[in-house]
Structure 1
Amino acid sequence: MTPPASPLTLPDALDYQALFEHAGVGLLEIAFDGQIRRINPNGAAFFGQSMTTLVGRNVTHVTHPEDIPRTLHALEQVVSGQAPLAVLEKRYLRADGEIVWSRSRVSLLPGRSGPSTSVVAVIADITDLKRVQQELEALNVNLQATLEGALLGLGVALEARDLETSGHTMRVMQRSLQLGEALGLDAVTLGELKHGASLHDLGKLSIPDAVLLKPGRLDAEEWAQMQTHAHNGYEIASLIPTLPRRSLEIIRHHHERWDGTGYPDRLAGEEIPLLARIFAVCDVYDALTSDRPYKRAWSSQAALAEVAAQSGRQFDPRVVTAFLQLFGGAPQARSEDAELVA
Structure 2
Amino acid sequence: MLFTPAIIALFAGSLITSGLLVGAALAGVPIILYWNLRDGSELQLKLERRTYLISTCVAYAFAFELISMFLFIYTADSIHSFFVGAMCAAGSLNANQWGYPTLIFRIVNFLLAGLWLIVNYTDNKGYDYPLIKMKYVLLLIIAPLILAETVIQAQYFFGLNPEVITSCCGALFSATTSSVAADIIAFPQRPMALVFGANMLLLPVLGIFSYRTGKGGYLFAVTALLAFLISSAAFISFISTYFYELPTHHCPFCVLQWEYRGIGYPLFLALLGGAQAGMGVGILTPYRDTGSLKGTLPAIQKKLIFISLISFASFAAISIYQIIFSNLKM
TM over 0.5: no
Structure with more strand by fraction:
1
Greater Rg by CA? 1
- The normalised TM-score by structure 2 is 0.26
User: Which of 1 and 2 has higher RCO (CA within 8 Å, sep 6+)?
Assistant: 2
- The normalised TM-score by structure 1 is 0.25
